[in-house]
Structures are given as C-alpha cells and as structure tokens.
Chains A and B, each alone.
Chain A
Amino acid sequence: MRMARFTPRFWVSAVVFALVVAFAVLGPIVFGANPGKDVGGLYDPPSSTSWLGTDDLGHDVFTNLMLGTRTSLIIGLVAGLVATLIGVVVGLLAGYHGGMVEEALMGVTNVALAIPAIVVLILLSVAIDFRSIVAMAVVIAITSWPWTARAVRAQASSVRTREHLDVARLSGARTFDILIWDVLPYLMSYICMAFVLQVSGAILAEAGLSLLGLGPSGSVSLGIMLNWALVGESLLNGAWWAFLPPTILLTLIAFALLMLQSSLDEVFNPRLRRGRRERGAAAGAGAGAAVSLVTSGTVAAETLDVGAAQEPVPEPGAGERTVGSGPDRTSERSGSA
C-alpha cells in the first residue's frame, strides 16, 4: 500500500536519474573506457569506431561522456553530502539549543548566505593549485550549506517544543541522543529533499566553474567537456557531437533531480497530499471566479471546471519554495555561473 503513494512523476524522474547513474557507473565497464587516447582526428563525425565522434584533440566523445558524467555525479554526491551534513549539524544545534548558540550560528549562516556563492567559488578555485575531484566537491559544499542550515533550524525549533522531548529530557537522556533519536527523525524527509537539491545544485555549480576554466584538474566532467567544446570552437564548426551530449545530460540530470525533489515532497508530506484535493478544488473555484472577471461576465461553464487540481500545488513556506529557493536562486543564476 505504501508504494501506491509514489506519483508517476516520482517514478519517471527516478528512472531517468537511475539511467544516468547506470550510464556513468556501468558504461565504462560494459563499453570499456580508455581516456585520453587518440582515436581519430579533429572533430571526426560519429562513426562505428567512435559512436559520438571525436573532440578537438581527437579523443572519443562517448568515452569522455561516460567518465565525465561519472565525475559530475561524484562531485554532486560528495558536495551534496558534505553540504547537507554541515547544514544539518549547524541547523540542529541552533534550532534545538536556542539562545546564544542559535544567535551565533545563525549569524554566521546569514553572513555566509549574504556573500554570493559564485564569488567564493571563483576565488577558492583560483586559489587552490591542484583541484582534485574531492577538493572541488568540498569547495562547492563550503558555499552551499547555509540554506540547508537555515531550513533545518526552522524545522528543529518547531520540533523542540513537542511533549515527547520533555519526556526524554526528564528521563535524563543526553542532548546528543535526543538530537539523534528524537529530533532528527522528524526532519529526515526534509533533509532528504534538501539533499537532492544540493546534489543537483553542486552538479550545476561544477559545470559552471568548469566552463569558466576552473574545473577539476586532470580529469573530465560534463562542464569540462563543454569548456573544451567552446574553446575548440566546435559550435562554429557545427561539430554538434562535441557539445550536444554533455548539454543534454546536464539538462536531464537537473530536470530529473528537481522533479524528484518535488514528488518526494508529496510522498513525505501527507498533509500536502490530502490538502491538495481540497485546496485544488478551492483553487478551481477561485480561478473560475477570476476567469469570469477576465472574460467580463460571460462565464462559460467549462472555465469553472478548472484543472488546477490536477497539478500539485507547491505550498509556499512549506514545500518547494523553502527548500527550492536557496539553491535555485543562487546556483541557477549565479552559483553555477
């Protein structure tokens, strides 16, 4: 019965993402990967020897694509984990403790939020000489934890006042245990969604930095492939196989993860789902009223039966907007730049 809660949207986005992961993990094993080997000349079109043609150095694009997707996913995963971890620790401590601890931690968080991520990313990437994949991930995580911290703090401080925590405190449980066993479970669904968005934000941030020429040294990622394609003028030469595959994969990953997050929201948040039908109906009625205004009196029967109820309504303040606003604003527009 539990499975029935997953929406088709969840399955579609999960399958798309799983396919991308399989391509990155299993691809090199199945097809064999020999990075950095010359297999042809400059921008050979796709053929039976190189399925997606060659790049500006005569390397196989398909091989690069498998390894590049792998690098991008690793960076996304590591950065997402680190950023979520920092954000959860800071947010939990601040939200549960309150008082001076909260003031201090949130002060740091707010300052970190105010400083644009792209600036710190560029400066840090310029400053470190050899950028390993993990170093890149950590750099990205350093700039992206604050919004998770803020969201977790808000949730934690609302959990703090529940009665069962008083019981736990009275029975003499240590603060650490209370945080892990009594507070954290309430936030898990929330943290899961924040993590998904952190992963997608980190992948896009890496691609943006790599495009600027600040990618991980000595390896290939989707962003680095785009950088090569731009520097090698594949666009002007019409060598679409050099830039189209990484572009498509990046878009696919970003879209799948975003859809995954918003459908997880419905799975985890039963209030959101139950409320959806009621709210949808109300929205429909409201929309009908509005339409009657727009069409100045000529209320057609079918406009009253509005399909707004079909689409999930992201609830401002509870779902997508709080979790989404952070990485969306900063990484889509500037973090990934």
Chain B
Amino acid sequence: MRLRKYLVGKSLWYLGALLVALVLNFLLPRLVPGNPVDAIVAQLGRSGTQADSLQRIHEHYVKEFGLDQSMVGQFFTYLGNLAHFDLGTSFAQYPAHVDGLISQALPWTIGLQLPAILIGWLVGNALGALAAFKGGWFDRGAFLSSLFLSSMPYYCLAILLLYLCAVALPLLPPGGGYEPGSSPELSVTFMVDVMRHYWLPFLSLVLIFVGGQAVGMRSMAIYELNSDYVNYGRGLGLSDKRIVRYIFRNAMLPQVTGLALSIGTLVGGALITEIVFSYPGIGSLLFSAIGQNDYPVIQAITLIILVAVLLSNFLVEIAYGFVDPRIRASQAGER
C-alpha cells in the first residue's frame, strides 16, 4: 500500500515536471523578438533563392511552426507531433527532417559517451576504494590528482589534450569522426579510422569521469570504514572479509545512483567535447544549429536531453522505492 502511494506520488511529480519542461521548450523559442521564420526566410532570400520557392518555404515553415494558429492551438499541435516523433523540418537545411538529422548524430554521441561513462565509473570506483583502503602516499597522490581532474572544466581538458596529442605531438587526428574523404560504411578500414579519431575525445571524457568517481568513492569508503556498524561487526568478531563486503555494499549504493544519473545526462553531458574535436554528434549539430538560428533543431535537441534526464531520475527514484523501505516511508509523508 505504501509502495503504491510512493509510486503514484513520484509519477505525478515527474509528470508535472515533464509538463513544465514541455511548456518551456515550446514557449521559449517563441519568445524570440520577431518571427524566426521571417528571419530565416529573409536570410535565404539574400543567398539568392527564387522568389516562388521562398514563398513555398515560408508557407511550409509557418505551417510547420503552426504560426497560423493560436498559442494554445500551437501547443497542442506541437504535442500531437511529438507523440508521432515528428520533430519538424530544419530551417537551415530545408527540407531535411529534424528526426533524420538527430538520428544521424545520436549514435556518435552515444558511442562516445556510454563507454566513457562505464569505463570511467569502473576505474574511478576501483581507484577511490583502493586509495581509501591503502592510504599513505598512494592515497594522497590519487586523491589530489582526482580532485584536480574532477574540478577541471571538461572542455578545458579536451582543449589541452587536443593541443598536446594532435598538434604539438601529431600522434592522433585532431578532429572529426573519420577521415574527411571517406564515408561511413561497415568496413575494416573505416572502423580503424573511426577508432583512431575516437581516442582523444574519449580520453578527455574518461579522465574527468574517473576523477569525479574516485573522489566520491574514496570519501564514501572512508566514511563507511569507521561507521558504527563496522565497529559493532568487529566487536562481534566478524571476519574482515565480511566487514569489507558490507562496507563495499553500502559505499556502492550512491555510486550506482550516480552511474544511472550520468547515463541520463549522457546526451547533454559533454556537448562541448564534440565541438572541440568537431565530432559529428549532437553537440556539433547543436553548435551549427545555434549559429544558424535553426530553432526546430535546437528545440529537438533540448527536448531529447530533457526527456533523458527526467526519465533516468524517475527510474532511479522508483528503483530506490523498491530497494529502500525507509525512503518509501519518508517520501510518502510518514516521517
């Protein structure tokens, strides 16, 4: 009964948040002074597009953006289109559909970030736990360098790595997902090429992530090492092995949550890395869309980030509700 109350409450909260987010995503681009459609068509006109095709594009945009309807009507059209995964047409790359642009870019972003997050998480946690257990100079060195890495803005590390490993010492290609001449295909040469371009952006992300995880895991492990249950367990004469297992289980819980949340922020987490390395993912797409005032593309990308973050937060909270009865009780108002 309590579990159901918790689940319903959480679901309502996240539905509310989703609705607020959708309204923001819908409203903010429409707050732009002047009409984005007029601006973009005027720009096309300057680049010498025929008048009648301009007229056609303008009409299409007006319909696409629903500018002929009332605000409320526009909002429902927008929701209806979203339900069909129809994200509209790109302004700058007319008549390309936004869905197509996104589905081209998304695999690059996920392929770059997901391994970086997973490997960074594993290595970082192992390093942090080891530092906490070992102590001494190893701990101090690992802790300080992790702290430095985790507090460094990730794009700063990306810029430094790019300069050091691709320009000063030309070991790796300086940018792009693959050699400019080639086209994506399933061949060995292309895969090797992709891997060569993969290293630098991957390293820049993974190092930062290892740092953050190690700092967190180290402090959690040290905290657990001297908590009451450890002393009690020792007093009872439990074996070290057993105690360490308990410590590990308790220290891991927040880290697992962190992993789930980072996977949720995956799309929006490192937009600038892609820009620095001109990697053909969502970040680069957003960068060019902002430069061209391509509102449908900007809106679609922010929407994807939004839904991913909300969904992962929601799933984590639901999972916590199942795992930990205390959280369930306190959230259901029985403090």
Contact = CB atoms under 8 A, between A and B. Distances in A.
A207 B139 CA distance: 32
B77 interface: no
The interface residues of chain A, by DSSP majority, are classed as helix
A212 interface: yes
A114 B135 contact: no
Chain A interface size band reads 35 or more
Contact of B305 (A119, A128, A236, A255): A119
A294 B21 CA distance: 49
A111 B13 contact: yes
Contacts of B262: 333
Contacts of A337: 268-272, 283
A243 B159 contact: yes
A101 B157 CA distance: 44
B21 A119 contact: yes
Nearest to A275: B226
A337 B293 CA distance: 19
Contacts of A290: 133, 225, 240, 244, 247
A76 to B, nearest CB: 13
Interface in A46-92: none
A118 interface: yes
B162 A235 contact: yes
Nearest to B31: A127
A76 B222 CA distance: 33
B159 A334 contact: no
Given A127-B31, A214-B290, A235-B167, A119 B134 contact: no
A129 B265 CA distance: 28
Interface stretch (A18-26, A35-43, A174-182, A303-311): A303-311
Given A123-B24, A308-B222, 14 more contacts: A114-B309, A114-B310, A119-B268, A119-B305, A123-B25, A126-B295, A235-B159, A238-B167, A282-B226, A293-B241, A293-B244, A303-B134, A310-B140, A313-B223
Interface in A242-281: 243-244, 247, 250-251, 254-255, 258, 279
A173 to B, nearest CB: 28
Contacts of A213: 287, 290-291
B305 A116 contact: yes
Contact of B134 (A110, A258, A279, A291): A291
